[in-house]
Amino acid sequence: MKTINRVWGLVALLVLLSPLAAFAQKTQKAQATYHDVQIVVKDLASGQEIGTIRPGGTFTLNEGQKVRLIMTAVGSGRGSYYPETEFSETEPGRGWVRVTRTSKENSSATLETNRPGNSNRNRVETLRYRIVENVDIPNELRQGTVTIRVEPGAASGVGPIAANSTAQDLVSMLYRAILLRDFDASGQPYVDRVANGGYPELVKIADEMARSTESRVQIYERGATREQRLAALYQNLLGVSSGQVDQTQWNNDLSRLSNGRVAEVVADMVRSERFQDYHNLSNERTAIRY
């Protein structure tokens, strides 16, 4: 019994000390000397690091891409350190790049690249950064700018439906995404509704398709698997391949499909900003041409 108590006592002590050890390690790293900084760019759709930007440098993103910038200090033989950093736009809301979230403690900023309503706006955006943590970094590197350039088109390699897309283009896309088949003449009433009602009507039609007998029953009788359905939804609705989807999100959506909640999955995607950006739609748009 005494042995067991001693073991549990040691475990409790280690649990108490582990945060202190982590804090000490961070403090030690913070006191080290760093000779350079760089900003790591992480694509949020794939979760992969896609490059780095040096102070004063330029990085190109695709329209519709969402990334995280992470400030990283580099020291010889000391590994990397992530100093507390503030990021900001030089001209907020005036270009194609939008800072949607910043975390000084995590040394990061989340960026979205969206086509603005005014197509004449600049596709080149300058972002400021300022390292606010007391870390031994050369003064000339503690603050500066980086430039983000946006290329029109989707990040996935499958281009978004253009601004002059027809109502039939959009309805055909829903057929491929939800029913895994091509548009046919029976879908003409849908086309008429989208042409007259725009994006809000498109949302309603997506829900109707998802709740149809073909979607709930017949599609599986034709041999489709839930994995195939989910991949088709991501590809056609959001322009994302299955390999680019966060695994936790994929498993959650697959579970919902398995429980017959396909309309719920479709609604989440079609109502998302990613869907609107990818297909160049807007909540304000009242009509889409035939």
pLDDT in tens, 27-66: 555 556 888 889 998 888 877 888 888 888 888 888 788 8
Q: How far is CA 178 from CA 50, 105, 157, in A?
A: 31, 41, 21
Q: Which residue has the higher pLDDT, 234 or 154?
A: 234
pLDDT at 288: 56
- Summarised one tens digit per residue, pLDDT across range 102-119 is 888 888 889 888 776 655
Q: Please say whether the beta carbons of 151 and 124 come within 8 A.
A: no
To 10 degrees, what angle do helices 167-174 and 188-211 make? 30
pLDDT band, very low/low/confident/very high, at 176 (cuts 50, 70, 90): very high
Distance separating alpha carbons of residues 131 and 91, to the nearest angstrom: 20
Q: How far is CA 30 from CA 2, 21, 23, 239, in A?
A: 42, 14, 10, 41
Domains, in order of start, for the chain: 33-154 (2.60.40), 167-278 (1.10.3130.20)
Distance separating alpha carbons of residues 56 and 128, to the nearest angstrom: 10
**Nearest CA-CA partner of 275 in 60, 39, 64, 50:** 64
pLDDT band, very low/low/confident/very high, at 75 (cuts 50, 70, 90): confident
Joined tokens for residue 190: 């849908």
pLDDT at 29: 52
- Summarised one tens digit per residue, pLDDT across range 121-160 is 667 888 899 999 988 888 999 999 988 888 775 333 333 3
**Nearest CA-CA partner of 137 in 65, 230, 75:** 75
Q: Is pTM beyond 0.75 here?
A: no
For residue 260, pLDDT over 80 is answered with yes
Joined tokens for residue 43: 């694509």
pLDDT at 125: 85
Q: Please say whether the beta carbons of 264 and 196 come within 8 A.
A: no
For 170, other C-beta atoms within 10 Å of its C-beta total 23
Distance separating alpha carbons of residues 262 and 285, to the nearest angstrom: 26
pLDDT at 120: 57
For residue 23, pLDDT over 70 is answered with no
- Summarised one tens digit per residue, pLDDT across range 180-230 is 999 888 889 998 888 888 888 999 999 999 999 999 999 999 998 999 999
pLDDT at 160: 36
For 118, other C-beta atoms within 10 Å of its C-beta total 7
